[in-house]
Amino acid sequence: MAEHLSQSELDYPFKLLEYFNGFRVSKVIFSACELGVFDLLLGAPGPLSARHVAHELRTSVDGMERLLDALVGMEVLEVEPAEGTALYSSSDVANLYLARGSSKSLHHMMTYQNQTVYPLWTHLGDAVREGRNQNEKTFGLQPEDPFQAVYRSDDEMLKFMGLMDSSWILDGHDIATAFDLSCFQKIVDLGGCTGALAREMAKAYPSSSVSVLDLPTVVDAAKKYFSRENDDVVFHSGDFFLGDVPPADLYVLARIVHDWPEEKCLSLLRKLHDTCRPGGGVLLVEAMLLETRRGPLMAQIFSLNMLVQMEGRERPPSGYTRLLNDAGFHDVQVCRTGKSYDAILAVR
């Protein structure tokens, strides 16, 4: 029985207890982020007491002290005792990833997880029982297309776009360079959202033209809120299921296939196969499962997220290879980056 568990875990279930508390650990970071703790500490001339932080952020002193202590326990903040009071400061990691103003800030990612994903996940048991997303129970919406729920208000759309944008701060370069794509002159990122991954592609392949196609409201918001100075990424408005896709040598589908049921993915891939010339290709970007079903845990969690919020799933390489082959693509190559997202390239 339970041969895979180490003896120490049987003596005392350290790992299980850590998992039980996982949601509370997330909430500590999310709440600190929402209250502005990391921004205040980053901007402060030196370490601050809990009283000072509480005063600046208009919270209770007792509550703030407990929150700061938990962040110290999580090794996100540092503490030093000084004349009977504790002084708190940020770690380099918190300054880089948790403060809002940093160029590598994951603030948007945390906001979306906290405000949208967390409520959805309270219905995970129902999602597993029913085998479908929980947009109705969580938001009172069961639309035809799960993106109508994702984009149910302008505020939600911007939050989601912020989440999408954040991922490529971490993984964009690895994905753009997972394969040498310099032979593809015209690259179109379908469902490219804010253009964050497309910009990484444009940086890695300066002699290629890179454009994004997304839904009209998303393109408008991307241009208004997420554009960069000297942006060399062009945006097209459209619907990749209902309309034509712009001609390209390479189509990028990042976190698209995992959103949709098998038949919709196949019809989209077949459309791309029909549109691109021989030698043209498709690059899928997803968090890939292991063939052994033993991980990675994050990809398994993402697959549950697709159940709770969307209509798709995560797959192992064989799942993508089968889809691509069924759509007519061949020479499927897989690159595991070792980070959150992996790349799969196939050609026509």
Ligand X SMILES: C[S@@+](CC[C@H](N)C(=O)[O-])C[C@H]1O[C@@H](n2cnc3c(N)ncnc32)[C@H](O)[C@@H]1O
- Under the rule (CB under 6 A), what is the footprint of ligand X? 147, 164, 167, 191-193, 197, 214-215, 218, 239-241, 254-256, 259
Options 107, 123, 258, 273, the catalytic residue: 258
- Rounded to the nearest whole angstrom, what is the least distance from the CB of residue 326 to ligand X in the complex? 20
Provide the minimum distance between the beta carbon of 306 and ligand X in the complex, in angstroms, as a whole number: 10
- In the complex, the smallest distance separating the C-beta of residue 119 from ligand X, rounded to whole angstroms, is 18
Q: 329: phi > 0 → left, psi -120 to 50 → alpha, else beta; which?
A: beta
Q: How far apart are CA 37 and CA 56, in angstroms?
A: 9
Q: Which is nearer to ligand X, 38 or 97 (CB)?
A: 97
Spatial separation of the C-alpha atoms in residues 16 and 183, rounded to whole Å: 49
When the beta carbons of 71 and 215 are compared against ligand X, the nearer one is 215
Contacts of 13 (CB under 8 A, 6+ apart): none
Phi, psi dihedrals of residue 314, rounded to the nearest 5°? -90, 160
Q: What are phi and psi of 258, to 5 degrees?
A: -70, -10
Tell me which residue of 270, 214, 198 sits closest to 246, measured CA to CA: 214
108 is catalytic: no
The HSE-up count of residue 269 (CA atoms within 13 Å, CB side) is 31
Residue 123 or 271 with smaller CB distance to ligand X: 271
* Cβ-based nearer residue to ligand X, 240 or 329: 240
**8 A C-beta contact, residue 64 and residue 50:** yes
**Shortest Cβ distance from residue 218 to ligand X (Å)?**
4
So which residues are the catalytic ones? 258
